[in-house]
Structure 1
Amino acid sequence: MNRELPVISLFSGAGGLDCAVERCSEPALTHDDSGSPLRVAVATDHDETALRTLALNFPHTKTLCGDIQTTPTEEILEAGGLERGDATLLIGGPPCTPFSKSGFWIEEKRNSADPNASLLDEYVRVVRESKPEAFILENVQGLTYKTHKEQFDRLIAGLKEAGYNPSYKVLLAAEYGVPQLRRRVFVVGRRDGKPFQFPLSTHSGESERDRVIDRSKIPFVGLKSAFRDLPEEPVELSDIVEGTYADLAAEVPPGQNYLWHTERYDGRDVFKWRSRYWTFLLRAEPDRPSTTLQAQPGPWVGPFHWENVQNAKGESRARRFTVSEMKRIMTFPDDFSFAGGRREVQRQIGNAVPVELGKVVVRSLMEQMGHLEPDGCGSERPSNEQLSFI
């Protein structure tokens, strides 16, 4: 079997999907890339820090730093040593800012007028001009909202006109063994026109929307289980929640948020009911998956760790997740390296695709295309041992 099936990566960021590609043939929660036939030949992004992260972890990958809107497809192919039609797979997630709920207070986003949304057209352009055997596009589920119907319909139409038969579905990461309640839409298409069958979910549990649990599936992976063998490390001073709401944050129990400090709960009666965003002073629960890690959270935006720490004055304080814990939440390998300072690392992690979720989708596609033999890790259900931290 060809061990070097080339992949083009657009909007690569820190490489969550790239990591999934190069580890797609390994069992869940295993990070040995020796068995994957796929290799990222070329990766593009406008973020120099993210590309430094890629270089640390994918030294064989050629990188292009620049605006995709002014980067010709021919330049991308040349950098990867490819001709039109050579790539087995094209992957990427155009920046999700235009479609994310976290910025709906911006009028241009509510009206679907964010100019960055045009980056979807650039993705289609590179697919059309590079003609990969298949593609995977991922984004926030907000891309599928009615607010963005015109752009989403244009995306699907453009991919069809390019000669593909795209399928799409919103997947909840926790339903595939990721300790995070993160929803992403995946759009997948094949050059031969055969429809892609999305992999079956393997895990079940309570989410922010669902209370019905499928007992035939593996329980959601909780954070305590995900962190169980992490070595102890000192908490950075910058990870301790200080300032105006420090005392209030420390008093919020696991699984609660600022609503604890309203007249309806047992905390201090400080805030009005539903006067803040849900993530304000939000504390994680040890036995449940994390809520979505955000790329650029404000000082009071959680989820924060469920345990408090003491600051230099001996005061009890909430704390943010460490980088090692965030990597576990996103199912990055423990030895995955990030360039930049603490804030830049969080931005890269928060913008990434959970590696295990990406692996499941890539693996399933490679099986259906005949590049990998089915072994129970793609559209077939893996064993409890493979997909559970427990």
Structure 2
Amino acid sequence: MTTDNRLPVISLFSGAGGLDMAVDRVADDFGSSATARVGHGPLRVAVATDYAQQAMDTLALNLSETPTITRDIQSLPTEELLEVGGISEGDASLVIGGPPCTPFSKSGFWLAEKRESRDPNASLLEEFVRVVAQSRPESFILENVQALTYKTHRAHFERLLAALRELGYNPQWKVLLAADYGVPQLRKRVFIVGRRDGKAFKFPEPTHGGPSETSKKWDETKLPHVTAGEAFRGLLTSSEPGELVEGKYGELAAEVPAGQNYLWHTDRYGGRDEFKWRSRYWTFLLRLSPDKPSSTLQAQPGPYVGPFHWENLENEQGLMRARRLRVPELLRLMTFPEDFEYAGTRADIQRQLGNAVPLELGKAVTRALMLQLGHLQPVNEIEMDLLKAAA
């Protein structure tokens, strides 16, 4: 019988396993995770849980040695997590998880319970704290949408940080832009990281730079953001059922140029005067630009919510139509491995990926933590500087 000496990790709200794969491949070189299942680092996911069976099926296809539990976390005792993972209190090197972000997402923000931060699912943050308190891991990584830090939800956020401080973990938080870490996507997420020894975690410095939706200035000494065109280079795909944008706005979507959205069809641009200025959400009829990173991939987009590909294709009537992104393209934008397997339909995988942490972003945070805990050794000057700054 072979003994696995890798450090155990408890994964909560695992979903499709973006953070789980980051844990598994934390020692891989940047980008190598896209083409090969390596995973020879210091960590292993000892147990993973989520309430969605389909997500657990997807995770099992890609991390076949990881035991999974499909259940609402509110009815899952920490003792059972430890038992299934074959670990005791204090053994886990890391607890990871991204509690469902729906309560804090801008999507559906018009709902009163979201505006007023009264969504009952907010208590899932407390479940994360409960597992940390009872399992006493060496460290934790919690990921969520940027909106958790907004004034509207500040009470939840401050209560979360206070609870983690009370446990002695000295939580540090930062909103990170995925594109700044080599992900071809302008996706912002907040990460909260804490250590049992109380030492402050130092977040990794960005490796890439470029303009974003909210900033036109950046550090030009960094590598440039990876564009969607670069991400798709050399990728061979085939058509997928339902990929063409048809229906009420199908013709209008096909006329929107790359990098533009519905605003093209207002009186301020060159399209048809169909919409009032800023009357729709920004992703309505949005087309990717091959020269920029993608906008955030939506987990449950409506039929006219992009980003759509910049190319048009003919439908059965010979009319040009915009097309949705294909699964291999979604994987590239998430920096997921090309051999990633998933359970469910194309819509199911979009939902799973839209809720996931981009692999290279997850690796950047996890690797920085493992370096500072001494479980990895620095391999370049950037990592040596990070350790000096964290000392």
Shared topology, TM-score over 0.5?
yes
1:363–1:378 Cα contact (<8 Å) kept: no
Change (3 A) 1:381 1:296: farther
- Quote the offset at 1:34 in angstroms: 3.8
Work out the CA distance in 1 between the residues paired with 2:261 and 2:294. Answer: 13
Work out the CA distance in 2 between the residues paired with 1:220 and 1:374. Answer: 24
Q: Once the two structures are superposed, what CA deviation does each residue of 1:304-333 show, in whole Å capped at 9, x if it has no partner?
A: 001111111111000110000000000000
1:21–1:38 Cα contact (<8 Å) kept: yes
Pick from 33, 37, 47: which aligns with 2:38? 33
2:26–2:39 Cα contact (<8 Å) kept: no
AA of the residue aligned to 1:118: S
Work out the CA distance in 1 between the residues paired with 2:316 and 2:136. Answer: 58
Report the equivalent of 2:263.
Answer: 259
Work out the CA distance in 1 between the residues paired with 2:64 and 2:217. Answer: 45
2:208–2:224 Cα contact (<8 Å) kept: yes
2:336–2:358 Cα contact (<8 Å) kept: yes
Work out the CA distance in 1 between the residues paired with 2:82 and 2:212. Answer: 42
Pick from 275, 282, 285: which aligns with 1:281? 285
1:202–1:381 Cα contact (<8 Å) kept: no
Report the equivalent of 2:389.
Answer: none
2:143–2:190 Cα contact (<8 Å) kept: yes
Work out the CA distance in 2 between the residues paired with 1:374 and 1:69. Answer: 39
Runs of at least 5 residues in structure 2 that lack an aligned partner in the other structure: 387-391
Work out the CA distance in 2 between the residues paired with 1:140 and 1:202. Answer: 21
- Quote the offset at 1:378 in angstroms: 7.0
Q: Once the two structures are superposed, what CA deviation does each residue of 1:322-360 show, in whole Å capped at 9, x if it has no partner?
A: 000000000000001111111111100000000000000
2:152 corresponds to 1:142? no
AA of the residue aligned to 2:9: V
Pick from 296, 301, 305: which aligns with 1:297? 301
Work out the CA distance in 2 between the residues paired with 1:34 and 1:45. Answer: 22
Q: Once the two structures are superposed, what CA deviation does each residue of 1:66-108 show, in whole Å capped at 9, x if it has no partner?
A: 1101110001100100100000010000000000011201110
Pick from 151, 175, 180: which aligns with 1:175? 180
5 Å-filtered alignment, 1:304-343, equals: 304-343=308-347
- The aligned length equals 380
Change (3 A) 1:120 1:378: farther
Corresponding residue SS for 1:33: coil
1:198–1:379 Cα contact (<8 Å) kept: no
Report the equivalent of 2:78.
Answer: 73
Work out the CA distance in 2 between the residues paired with 1:64 and 1:34. Answer: 22
1:10–1:90 Cα contact (<8 Å) kept: yes
Corresponding residue SS for 1:102: coil
RMSD of aligned residue pairs (Cα, Å): 1.3
2:18 corresponds to 1:16? yes
Pick from 193, 206, 215: which aligns with 1:201? 206
- Quote the offset at 1:234 in angstroms: 2.1
Runs of at least 5 residues in structure 1 that lack an aligned partner in the other structure: 383-390
5 Å-filtered alignment, 1:89-128, equals: 89-128=94-133
Report the equivalent of 1:359.
Answer: 363
Work out the CA distance in 1 between the residues paired with 2:38 and 2:160. Answer: 32
Q: Percent identity?
A: 63
AA of the residue aligned to 2:274: V
Work out the CA distance in 2 between the residues paired with 1:378 and 1:309. Answer: 44
Report the equivalent of 1:386.
Answer: none
- Quote the offset at 1:298 in angstroms: 0.1
- Quote the offset at 1:33 in angstroms: 2.5
- Quote the offset at 1:236 in angstroms: 1.6
Work out the CA distance in 1 between the residues paired with 2:240 and 2:375. Answer: 45
Work out the CA distance in 2 between the residues paired with 1:99 and 1:52. Answer: 26
1:27–1:377 Cα contact (<8 Å) kept: no
Corresponding residue SS for 2:60: helix
Change (3 A) 1:381 1:223: farther
- Quote the offset at 1:237 in angstroms: 3.3
1:367–1:378 Cα contact (<8 Å) kept: no
Question: Normalising by structure 1, what TM-score?
Answer: 0.95
Corresponding residue SS for 2:95: strand
Pick from 132, 136, 142: which aligns with 1:131? 136
5 Å-filtered alignment, 1:214-233, equals: 214-231=219-236, 233=237
